[in-house]
Amino acid sequence: MDRTSLGAAVTARGLGVAGPRGWTFRAVDVAAAPGDLVAVEGPSGSGRTCLLLTLTGRMRPTAGTAEVGGLPLPRRMAAVRRITALAQIAGVCEPEGALSVGEHLRERVLLCRRFTGGPRAPFRPPAEAAERAEAALATVGLDPDALPAGPRTLARDLGRPESLRLSLALALIGGPRLIAVDDADLKLGPADRADAWALLRSVAASGPTVLAVCGEAPEDADAVVTTHGKETADAFAAAGRA
């Protein structure tokens, strides 16, 4: 991936999202410089995925302030969506098991319609998108020809490490300034977990800022911690502040 797409700074203070059953997450602070890797740590159900969706302009915050690449949320949600990408978020953005790796890559190249220089700039030509796909595969260390069935390997036949690499490659093709990755360490043993974090660091080093949800962040990682939404709501209710 070229470095014409620089990472986006991310700042948030007191950020929260409330729903019909209370707070999904609340009082979250984030400070990430362009090209940083930030771990979003917390138990399942603590609002980690919703935080990713909020910081990428896919979910409207109900408390606090946030900016991504200098774009304030929620006022510039559409603009934030244009400079961000999602990776392996279940039910939102994840490889389709019945499609092959090659089909996923070709589809993403065809759908690559981000502007290069603002709303009046021309669309990227297919050749440039194809070059970005090759660069993305190199960045994540995924060689489709080395898979069991080559590029025809189905996504459902990939192991967790290879599926993460594919998801990141698909996200990189659009040249985002921020990539939000869900469940980065889900169902990974110690060795694969270490490899996953090394991969995420290399992606961040290639340009984009990376936010990665995990069950447990590495000791040397910058981390944002979310608390369980229901527990947060109950605590504020008990204090008479919900």
200 φ/ψ sector (left φ>0, alpha ψ -120 to 50, else beta): alpha
The CATH homologous superfamily of the domain defined by 10-238: P-loop containing nucleotide triphosphate hydrolases (3.40.50.300)
Q: What is the mean pLDDT of residues 136-144?
A: 96
Mean pLDDT of 191-213: 95
Query: How many CB atoms neighbour CB 109 within 10 A?
Result: 20
Q: Show me where the domains of the chain are located.
A: 10-238
Share of the chain above pLDDT 70, in %: 85
Q: Does residue 241 have a pLDDT over 90?
A: no
Rounded-to-10 torsion of CA 37, 212, 77, 19: -140
Counting Cα atoms < 13 Å in the Cβ hemisphere of 35 gives 8
User: 142 Cβ partners below 8 Å, 6+ apart?
Assistant: 162, 165, 166, 169
What confidence score (pLDDT) does residue 216 get? 85
Q: pTM for the full model?
A: 0.85
Find the mean pLDDT for residues 26-35: 95
**pLDDT classification of 231: cutoffs 50, 70, 90:** very low
pLDDT in tens, 155-197: 999 999 999 999 999 999 989 999 999 999 988 999 999 999 9
